[in-house]
Structure 1
Amino acid sequence: MSYRKTALTTLCVAAIAAPAFAEELNLYSSRHYETDERLYSDFEEMTGIKINRIEGNGDELIARMQAEGANSPADILLTVDTSRLTRAKDAGVLSSIDSDVLEARIPAQLQDDDNQWFGFSQRARILFYDKNDVANPPQTYADLADPQYRGMVCIRSSTNVYSQTILAAMIEHLGAEAAKDWAEGVYANFARAPQGGDTDQIRGVVSGECDIAMSNTYYFGRAVRREVSGVSDSLDMIGWVFPDQAGNGAHMNLSGGGVAAHAPNRENAIKFLEYLASDQAQQYFSAGNDEYPAVPGIGLSPSVAYMGLFKADDVDLSAVAEHIGEAQQIFNEVGWP
């Protein structure tokens, strides 16, 4: 058989085997995880709805949707952190939706008050430390500002959404004055100027640049599940604390999404969000990306369960999001880079 004939036959078979999609939805996503591919492909197979993806930075996607206005092809925005979800709502690029499925499955504190966004996975923002050098690690977020930890702390910059959200949560719990005192204390305890992402904060503990670091759990869980340079080979020296277990509980960051204000395929978009709340999709978030499911009762993957059980802060994240601007102002006032 000639190469030409073989190639033609292969193309014909591929054409026959390719799924025929009668409907579609357009997904704007700032989630850049390879494991999410399974979420998308399973939804397509189950529903016959083709997902067209545009990926980018969360803030850039929000700006793009604003610029596109009523002509935007976006059906869904998926992004990370309550601050960005609220930014999208305030920018007018999301719309309220009515879904009994989402209302029943997603806890109230992980929903926008106007149902413009819902959380689908969570990450606990906790403290990691060098077990060889730190005999008395901080047990609360407030402890991180204690002078006994002067020159020991690695943490993200003030422009990072994770930093903004945890300070906003402290404003919600303690008030602005106490939150500012905390920010000043943590800033005084810096081991180095903020640099890099969450994995880099943990690497700082391994390298000895700092003794204590704040990071989301899924970055550590990833190093448990597979090789992460500068972390996986040193797991034995890294300890961790879920803060505030005798108080409010560990702060949780959110990954979530909502239906676009001008969604051309609105019904399909709602179906997709409901799918993300299904048992199957919720298990993928844990097994594929080392996150905590948003839906209660979903089993954890080994890499997530490795870190143990803990009490999570159940503060209303819509209320927390209202303090984001105030949090950034406090960071600026105390000089936190």
Structure 2
Amino acid sequence: MIRNHLLRAALAASAVVIGAAAASADEVNVYTTREPGLIQPLFERFTAESGITVNTIFVKEGLGERVATEGENSPADLFSVVDYGNLIDLVDRGLTQPVQSDVLEAAIPASLRGADGQWFALSMRARVIYTSKERVTETAMTYEDLADPKWQGKVCIRSGQHPYNTSLIAALIAKDGAEVAEGWLEGVKANLARKAGGGDRDVARDILAGLCDVGVANSYYVGLMRSGKGGEEQVAWGDAINVILPTFKDGAGTHVNVSGAALAKHAPNRDNAVKLLEFLVSDEAQKLYAEANYEYPVKAGAPLDPIVASFGDLKIDPLPLTEVAAHRKDASLLVDEVGFDN
């Protein structure tokens, strides 16, 4: 307790010193939980075009607590994070402020930003289905199909408690209610080829090994595997699978998660931060997002990496992510209730 109190005091004291010099006509301070290598090329391009220097502070854990401790003296102008749940958590903690921008509203679909301008998606990763090229002939599936007994002993998936999956389950709750979602979880659990766990790339690995035939994973991992960025072994994993862009049974679209940004409540360089936000939805920046991590741009018409483009046209589920987020706690509880990870 004493140690935590001293840590908070030290952070607050340092924020006063940093905050005193934080406002500058040619700077913007970004607190990010994203790996710097993925976003630094975008910031460098922004600086080259605008003359505004981007100071990047990588915060691996405890971003909200750090900013809350810094308070009004925080030098943070912009938060850059992965997962819309993390963005909404920052909003709920009162650490952000709204941005009204015609540029942002024109580029980003309404379902992928806060209705009050408190947060914005900047790139997407789709929750897709991997299938064996050798053993599966289906070219279209719904998420609900994964609970069909025809797939008994043939499904691989990571932990149901992982945010990627609680988000998917939360979307099902938002659409059809908790009872339907519980039945779906029980059906998928009955079809598992192995205990739920590992990572998304392990799904492709296990399909190649013949352990399972289908699985749920994120789209961008396919780019990382097939490109060789994950190592030569993973090229074979990526080449062993086909990618299906599923919908729920309503046919509305594919479930996505996002990386995004929010303007800090006490941003000392507010105008520069808004300029950076607007740059990040430009054609140039959206192309860089697509190239850096095989993500989908949020801006319609922005070019895709060829590997991602090979999956087909992505139709995004229009259910607002704010509505999905409201059910994530219930989704987590359902995972435990059905013993999905046991």
User: TM-score range, shorter-chain basis?
Assistant: 0.7 to 0.9
Report matched runs for 1:37-48 at 5 Å: 37-48=40-51
Question: What does the per-residue CA deviation read over 1:262-297, in whole Å, with 9 as the maximum and x for residues that have no partner?
Answer: 222211111111110111101111122211110111
Report matched runs for 1:196-207 at 5 Å: 196-207=198-209
Partner of 2:76: 74
Select 1:330's aligned residue among 322, 330, 334: 334
Which SS does the other structure have where 1:307 is aligned?
A: coil
* Contact 1:153 1:191 survives alignment (8 Å): yes
Report matched runs for 1:20-169 at 5 Å: 23-32=26-35, 34-57=37-60, 60-136=62-138, 139-169=141-171
Question: What does the per-residue CA deviation read over 1:199-240, in whole Å, with 9 as the maximum and x for residues that have no partner?
Answer: 222222223333222111111022233343333124443122
Select 2:215's aligned residue among 213, 216, 230: 213
Question: What does the per-residue CA deviation read over 1:161-188, in whole Å, with 9 as the maximum and x for residues that have no partner?
Answer: 1111111111111112111111222222
Partner of 1:275: 279
Q: Which moved more, 1:116-125 or 1:232-241?
A: 232-241
Report matched runs for 1:253-292 at 5 Å: 253-292=257-296
- Kindly tell me: are residues 177 and 270 of structure 1, through their superposed partners in 2, closer, same or farther at Cα, counting changes over 3 Å? same
* Contact 2:28 2:54 survives alignment (8 Å): yes
Q: TM-score, normalised to structure 1's length?
A: 0.87
Partner of 2:246: 243
Question: What does the per-residue CA deviation read over 1:104-128, in whole Å, with 9 as the maximum and x for residues that have no partner?
Answer: 2211111111211011111111000
Select 1:189's aligned residue among 181, 184, 191: 191
Which SS does the other structure have where 2:56 is aligned?
A: strand
Partner of 1:4: none
Which SS does the other structure have where 1:134 is aligned?
A: coil
- Kindly tell me: are residues 259 and 124 of structure 1, through their superposed partners in 2, closer, same or farther at Cα, counting changes over 3 Å? same
Report matched runs for 1:162-181 at 5 Å: 162-181=164-183
Letter in 2 for 1:288: A
- Kindly tell me: are residues 149 and 56 of structure 1, through their superposed partners in 2, closer, same or farther at Cα, counting changes over 3 Å? farther
How far apart are the structure 2 equivalents of 1:182 and 1:60? 34
* Contact 2:124 2:295 survives alignment (8 Å): yes
Question: Which blocks of at least 5 consecutive residues in structure 1 are unaligned?
Answer: 1-20
Aligned length: 316
Superposed displacement of residue 29, structure 1: 1.2
- Kindly tell me: are residues 84 and 163 of structure 1, through their superposed partners in 2, closer, same or farther at Cα, counting changes over 3 Å? same
Superposed displacement of residue 141, structure 1: 0.3
How far apart are the structure 2 equivalents of 1:67 and 1:187? 42
Letter in 1 for 2:166: Q
Q: Find out whether 1:225 has 2:222 as its counterpart.
A: no
- Kindly tell me: are residues 299 and 289 of structure 1, through their superposed partners in 2, closer, same or farther at Cα, counting changes over 3 Å? same
Question: What does the per-residue CA deviation read over 1:126-156, in whole Å, with 9 as the maximum and x for residues that have no partner?
Answer: 0002222334577110011122222222212
* Contact 2:73 2:266 survives alignment (8 Å): yes
Which SS does the other structure have where 1:243 is aligned?
A: coil
Q: Which runs of 4+ in 1 moved over 6 A?
A: none
Q: TM-score, normalised to structure 2's length?
A: 0.86
* Contact 2:172 2:181 survives alignment (8 Å): yes
Question: What does the per-residue CA deviation read over 1:295-336, in whole Å, with 9 as the maximum and x for residues that have no partner?
Answer: 111122212212222432122112111111111121121122
The percentage of counterpart residues that share the same residue type is 41
Superposed displacement of residue 93, structure 1: 1.6
* Contact 2:204 2:238 survives alignment (8 Å): no
Select 2:256's aligned residue among 226, 244, 252: 252
* Contact 1:222 1:303 survives alignment (8 Å): no
* Contact 1:206 1:231 survives alignment (8 Å): no
Question: Which blocks of at least 5 consecutive residues in structure 2 are unaligned?
Answer: 1-23
Letter in 1 for 2:299: V
How far apart are the structure 2 equivalents of 1:311 and 1:100? 24
* Contact 2:204 2:240 survives alignment (8 Å): no
How far apart are the structure 1 equivalents of 2:94 and 2:305? 36
Superposed displacement of residue 254, structure 1: 1.1
